[in-house]
Amino acid sequence: MIPITSPETLGKVLRSYRKKLELTQSEAGRKFNIPQKTVSRIESGIPAVHLESVFKYMSALGLEIHLSPRDKSSNDVALW
């Protein structure tokens, strides 16, 4: 499992899943009426994307989020 600690990492993971499904950005977006430009912004890790759009996009790819505490030995003291 890949730790998601930034919008950029989330975008890369979502792009990877979309490509595994052999979908274009437009095809994936159409599943939940998300414009291709918004899909591109999500996959690029642009943090100003609405959270609702991220969840719609994840649903289009058949994904969900599971949260867990971060490893205390992590060197990522302040991510944001």
What's the pLDDT score for residue 37? Answer: 97
Q: Note whether 36 and 29 are within 8 A (CB).
A: yes
| Sequence-separated (6 or more) residues with CB below 8 Å from residue 44 | 8, 11
What's residue 79's pLDDT? 58
39 three-state secondary structure: helix
Q: What confidence score (pLDDT) does residue 3 get? A: 86
Instruction: Using alpha carbons, select from 65, 18, 79, 63 the residue that is nearest to residue 43.
Output: 18
Domains and CATH numbers, the chain: 8-60 (1.10.260.40)
pLDDT at 64: 94
Q: How many other CB atoms are there within 10 angstroms of residue 63's CB atom? A: 13
Residue 62 has pLDDT above 70, yes or no: yes
What's the pTM? 0.84
For residue 66 the two structure tokens come to 């599971």
